């Protein structure tokens, strides 16, 4: 029954979204004269090909996409390898993490501008930046999820004098995995925003740099075309994460 309602809700969601697109096409192609608010849909369609010709879309997309998803995999791998000492630190020294939590009041622009100021513009520096964002995000998720692991999973093993390596490496780790994997969907959105912003500020390569160039040329249709393609890539990333999540995590925390 819940699947039926979920399917119905999905259908309505996509139907409504198609309605918004149709309204945009009708309004800006046939009714409202071309202006500076939104471009004509036919111009946006043409811009998909000009994005590649004038802005080198594919190379820049590959640069951004590989940076984002490689960083995600790398950050997860590091956390997996260091899960025992990391969980020990996060669970026994919560004050340490709480003190770092105060940095949340510094906005992304503070870190991005400082990073761009400190490190030379290069492919490596961008991957390192993306990796650090992933790592901090995932460590925070691990910390929050670890605090939420059911005590009833942990306590019988404490009574049986289980070693920390077993408790952290198996019980806690498996207990936080559903939360950790679910957080990849949020990380996907968050990372795309941060990385595009970073590339926009840095102005070297990547999809963020395409936005910067298109804005400097006041190329509105290219901006919209790039936004549509980026949205499709983010949605594809989310779909893959959801499929992996469904395949790998079969339990609730």
Interface with another protein (CB under 8 A): 150-153, 155-162, 166, 171, 174, 177, 250-252
217 by DSSP, 3-state: which?
coil
In angstroms, rounded to a whole number, what is the distance separating the alpha carbons of residues 170 and 180? 14
Least distance from C-beta 1 to another protein, angstroms? 17
CB of 149: closest distance to another protein in angstroms?
11
181 or 198: whose CB is closer to another protein?
A: 181
Measured CA to CA, the distance from residue 66 to residue 68 in angstroms comes to: 5
Q: Which is nearer to another protein, 94 or 174 (CB)?
A: 174
Continuous segment of H or E residues that includes residue 23: helix 2-25
DSSP-assigned letters across all residues of 170-202: IIIHHHHHHHHHHHHHHHHHHHHHHHHHHHHHH
What minimum distance in Å lies between the beta carbon of 179 and another protein?
13
Q: How many residues does the chain have?
A: 253
Pick between residue 124 and residue 159 the one whose CB is nearest to another protein. 159
Give the shortest CB-41-to-another protein separation in angstroms: 48
Identity of the residue, 85 or 156, whose beta carbon is nearer to another protein in the bound complex? 156
């Amino acid at each position: 029954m819940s699947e039926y309602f979920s399917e119905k809700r999905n259908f309505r969601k996509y139907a409504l979204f198609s309605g918004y697109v149709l309204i945009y096409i009708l309004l800006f192609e046939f009714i409202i004269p071309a202006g500076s608010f939104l471009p004509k849909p036919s111009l946006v369609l043409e811009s998909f090909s000009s994005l590649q010709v004038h802005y080198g879309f594919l190379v820049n997309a590959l640069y951004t996409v590989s940076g984002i998803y490689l960083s995600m995999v790398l950050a997860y791998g590091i956390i997996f390898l260091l899960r025992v000492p990391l969980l020990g630190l996060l669970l026994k020294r919560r004050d340490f993490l709480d003190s770092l939590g105060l940095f949340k009041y510094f906005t992304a622009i503070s870190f991005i501008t400082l990073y761009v100021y400190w490190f030379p513009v290069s492919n490596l520096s961008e991957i390192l930046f993306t990796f650090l964002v992933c790592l901090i995000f995932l460590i925070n998720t691990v910390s929050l999820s670890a605090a939420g692991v059911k005590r009833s999973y942990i306590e019988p093993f404490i009574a049986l004098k289980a070693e920390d390596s077993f408790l952290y490496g198996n019980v806690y780790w498996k207990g936080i995995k559903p939360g950790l994997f679910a957080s990849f969907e949020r990380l996907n959105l968050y990372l795309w925003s941060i990385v595009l912003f970073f590339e926009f500020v840095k102005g070297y390569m990547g999809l963020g740099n395409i936005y910067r160039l298109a804005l400097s040329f006041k190329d509105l249709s290219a901006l919209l075309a790039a936004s549509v393609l980026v949205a499709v890539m983010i949605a594809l990333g989310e779909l893959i994460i959801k499929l992996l999540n469904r395949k790998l995590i079969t339990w609730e925390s």
